[in-house]
Amino acid sequence: MLSCKEVTRLLSESQDRELTLFEGLQLRMHLAMCKGCANFDRQMKFLRKASRQYAASVSRADRNDRSD
């Protein structure tokens, strides 16, 4: 059984590489039972979405600057 600490590390890595089947299974089991880690999981996905949106806003600001 994975600890919360191990789960946070795996959830971080899941954003950078494909987890193995076993890792994914262990993760899902833990998340089903642990509310704190389930919240953390949603927050990590949100952080990625927010960063992408931030990147997009950098390019958008470019178009807003245009005077033509």
CB of 23 to another protein, least distance (A): 13
Q: How far is the CB of 28 from another protein (least distance, A)?
A: 18
Going by the DSSP 8-state scheme, the letter that residue 34 receives in this structure is -
Nearer to another protein, 25 or 51 (CB): 51
Choose between 4 and 25: whose C-beta lies nearer to another protein: 4
Instruction: Please give the Cα distance from 49 to 38 (Å, whole number).
Output: 17
Report the alpha-carbon distance of residue 26 to residue 3 in Å, rounded: 10
For 14, 32, 50, the CA distances from 20, given in Å and listed in that order, are 10, 18, 26
Q: Which residues of this chain interact with another protein, rule CB under 8 A?
A: 3-6, 8-9, 12-13, 15-17, 34-37, 39-40, 42-44, 46-55, 57-59, 61-62, 65-68
